[in-house]
Structure 1
Amino acid sequence: MEYRYSTEIDSRAYKTHGLDGGIPLRVHADPEDKEIVGTMRAQCDWNHYVRPVLDYKGGLGEKLSFMRACIISYANEFAFLYDDKMEELIDSRTDTSAGDALKKPFNNGLTSMQNLQAKKLQTQVIKEMASIDPERAMTTRKAWAKFLQLAAQSRSRPLYTLDEYLPCRIIDAGELIWFGTLTFGMALSIPDDELELCMELARPGYAAISLTNDLYSWNKEREDARRAGHDCVYNAIWVIMKERSVGETEAKMVCMKQIKHYIKQYCEIVDKVHSCDWLSDDLKTYLEAVKLSHVGNLAWSICCPRYRVK
């Protein structure tokens, strides 16, 4: 893949804890700071139209064109803000059964007016995308809508084995959100006859990304669940502890081993796909971008304030 909009970072400048799979970290070469502008704009709009942003929990801290960077960053920050609201909603339930709490409608976490304003911001994002690239904006909108539908179902009950948990976690972690974001941001069009294969090939990459999120968010999520009086945590560490009857430290080691397994498997898939002349260039580029997303997510997860226990 040709890297026109990103630069590689010196590996001494960030931590990976050995979970990077040998993938280099790349950052967007953004001379006008459109990424930061989009992120701050999302926070300002949320603060003004929905509810105050009380503390920082968002995204500040690949091959994406400059013109698309600002709106993609806006959408990404909006997703963080919305996700934080959903976590607050879950934590505020008086019912201590996490399964029951997670079955409740997502939108109850905001007042009717706040929810209306949030939906207006969502519509604004799609409109701005459509003004840049109508066709891919529609693909993104459909992917995001499907994500909301599937994510609501993925947390409908506690899951007690990693094999049953991980497919649900991949959905919940935003596989379709990232598909819509990457295809729009990188101006990719996955042919209809390759779409199912594309999602299947990318799944080990998303498994590594999802488990990475769980590993580094565990301390925060464990504490949040404790304060809320919940009897389970929607996190791979909790699942591994229950499934294998092991302690927290050993469960984290198992999770790290699984991350290494999945990213190694995924890198092998990406390498093989590059030699498949019958597959589209856009599919290959998308799979490469998911690979780069893993190390970006890893470096971010290790140092971001979002996962720090208060």
Structure 2
Amino acid sequence: MVLEYRFSSVVSPSRYDSQGLMGDIPLRQSNFADAETVGEIRAQEDWNVLVAPLSEKFHGGLDPNLSFVSVSIPECRPERLEIISYANEFAFIYDDATENIAHDRAEADMAQTLDLFMQGATTGYVDPRGSGKNKIQAQIFNEMAAIDRPRAMVCMQAWAEFLQLTSSRDRKVRFDTLDEYIPYRVWDVGQMLMYGLVTFGMGLTIPEEDKGRATEATVSAFGVIALTNDLFSWERERDAAKRDGMPHVMNAIYVLMGQHNVSEEEAKQMCHEKIVELVQEYKAIVEKYKNDTSSCIDLRKYIEALQCNISGNLIWSLTCPRYNPGTKLNACQTWMRSRVRAHNFKPNKTYPAALPPSPPSSVSN
């Protein structure tokens, strides 16, 4: 292992059924998961007040058992977990909000969001004036910058790159094969956004010249994440497309049904098999980089850390309210929501002192 696992613990396999979709990759959970709950509830409440009321059914990354960020980035430094959870929840809310507005308005809104993230990436400042959404973006950057300004700027740059390509893509395009579809979904699922959140959260410094390697080496990991999301969100997306009169569904199950002229269940099985294949492919990449001492140590850590993203995203997808209507928050989360609403409350948890940032490096010692 390249990573030292200091802030998380392995979750017993008796607590979940992976359905064979993550090989022998362990599931880990942050030892400070309460911070995620607070960050996500804060983001929801800020959106409620500053932008528009959310549906009571919206839960984003929260799950009554294992919430998204705590299992996807379990080695996030404790003092950074709340703000990256806040940021990720904003991404969930924003994604849902732009799906439900007219295309032209969505493009204009995304352009404004992109401009503000670029402002943070290039100037180290985000102007909080303007819309409620602008204020939330400024809140994200300011909290990150107060902890680690250089990596906050890297995160804003990565988020801006994600939005820039996403905004230029034709959402009406139809894919004939899974091989054509996967590269589109790898970016669309948030490869660059996750790069920003992981490097900030874990305090990693990947030199600019290695950024392309980080993107290339993790394609199969994000392929797993994208196909996992498609597998578990299929019914929701299929029904939404039918309701909105869309000619097709942007989902791997739909692509496979058309490519092979098969039923939904057969397409799901094909998707399952492709996920298993990509998991094994990524595990081989992780092993390769573990032994590649010529590579930047933080690049190697990032590549290993994304195994947690694979297992965490899968187990979260199996039970989360986002993909499983009717699932409710647990009693502790409901209590925290009431406390955040009333007092902007943070849990009484003693975190380790802020750790020094990893020094920029290009070669491991």
TM (norm. structure 2) is: 0.77
Structure 1 residue 119 corresponds to structure 2 residue 119: no
> Given that residues 154 and 171 in structure 1 are in contact (C-alpha distance below 8 angstroms), is that contact kept between their aligned partners in structure 2?
no
Amino acid aligned to 1:66: P
CA drift at 1:116? 2.1
The corresponding residue for 1:172 is 188
The corresponding residue for 2:36 is 35
Structure 1 residue 15 corresponds to structure 2 residue 17: yes
CA drift at 1:300? 0.6
The corresponding residue for 1:63 is 75
Q: How does 1:158-197 map to 2 (within 5 A)?
A: 158-197=174-213
Distance 2:5 2:148 in 1: 21
Closer, same or farther in 2 for the Cα pair 1:235/1:106, shift >3 Å?
farther
Closer, same or farther in 2 for the Cα pair 1:296/1:106, shift >3 Å?
farther
The corresponding residue for 1:47 is 48
Distance 1:106 1:249 in 2: 38
SS at match of 2:59: coil
The corresponding residue for 1:264 is 280
- Spell out, residue by residue over 1:236-263, the C-alpha distance to the aligned partner (whole angstroms, 9 max, x if none): 1111111111111111111011100111
Structure 1 residue 137 corresponds to structure 2 residue 138: no
> Given that residues 207 and 262 in structure 1 are in contact (C-alpha distance below 8 angstroms), is that contact kept between their aligned partners in structure 2?
yes
Partner residue of 1:198 out of 211, 214, 218:
214
Q: How does 1:228-267 map to 2 (within 5 A)?
A: 228-267=244-283
Closer, same or farther in 2 for the Cα pair 1:214/1:106, shift >3 Å?
farther
Distance 1:18 1:151 in 2: 31
> Given that residues 219 and 308 in structure 1 are in contact (C-alpha distance below 8 angstroms), is that contact kept between their aligned partners in structure 2?
no
The corresponding residue for 1:97 is none
- 155-164 vs 197-206, which deviates more? 155-164
Distance 2:104 2:224 in 1: 24
> Given that residues 98 and 106 in structure 2 are in contact (C-alpha distance below 8 angstroms), is that contact kept between their aligned partners in structure 1?
no
SS at match of 2:29: strand
Amino acid aligned to 1:199: T
- Spell out, residue by residue over 1:22-54, the C-alpha distance to the aligned partner (whole angstroms, 9 max, x if none): 1110000117x2111111110110110000011
Q: How many equivalent pairs are there?
A: 294
Amino acid aligned to 2:157: K
The corresponding residue for 1:213 is 229
Amino acid aligned to 1:26: R
- 138-147 vs 156-165, which deviates more? 156-165
Structure 1 residue 288 corresponds to structure 2 residue 304: yes
Distance 1:292 1:260 in 2: 15
> Given that residues 204 and 263 in structure 1 are in contact (C-alpha distance below 8 angstroms), is that contact kept between their aligned partners in structure 2?
yes
Distance 2:156 2:277 in 1: 32
CA drift at 1:231? 1.3
Distance 2:155 2:105 in 1: 26
SS at match of 1:27: strand
> Given that residues 6 and 29 in structure 1 are in contact (C-alpha distance below 8 angstroms), is that contact kept between their aligned partners in structure 2?
yes
Closer, same or farther in 2 for the Cα pair 1:132/1:116, shift >3 Å?
same
Amino acid aligned to 2:52: R
Share of identical aligned residues, percent? 41
> Given that residues 152 and 200 in structure 2 are in contact (C-alpha distance below 8 angstroms), is that contact kept between their aligned partners in structure 1?
yes
> Given that residues 151 and 203 in structure 2 are in contact (C-alpha distance below 8 angstroms), is that contact kept between their aligned partners in structure 1?
yes
Distance 2:37 2:59 in 1: 14
The corresponding residue for 2:89 is 77
Distance 1:102 1:279 in 2: 44
The corresponding residue for 2:119 is none
Distance 2:273 2:138 in 1: 41
Q: Could you say which structure has the higher helix fraction?
A: 1
RMSD: 1.9
Structure 1 residues not aligned, in runs of 5+ = 94-100
Distance 2:264 2:76 in 1: 38
CA drift at 1:289? 1.0
CA drift at 1:235? 0.5
- 238-247 vs 181-190, which deviates more? 238-247
> Given that residues 154 and 169 in structure 1 are in contact (C-alpha distance below 8 angstroms), is that contact kept between their aligned partners in structure 2?
no
CA drift at 1:192? 1.9
Distance 2:226 2:318 in 1: 14
- Spell out, residue by residue over 1:202-257, the C-alpha distance to the aligned partner (whole angstroms, 9 max, x if none): 11111001100000000100011111111101111111111111111111111011
Distance 2:137 2:205 in 1: 22
Amino acid aligned to 1:176: M
> Given that residues 57 and 81 in structure 1 are in contact (C-alpha distance below 8 angstroms), is that contact kept between their aligned partners in structure 2?
no
CA drift at 1:7? 0.6
> Given that residues 216 and 302 in structure 1 are in contact (C-alpha distance below 8 angstroms), is that contact kept between their aligned partners in structure 2?
yes
CA drift at 1:11? 0.5
Partner residue of 1:152 out of 160, 164, 167:
167
SS at match of 1:148: helix
- Segments of 4+ in structure 1 off by > 6 A? none
Partner residue of 2:293 out of 273, 277, 280:
277
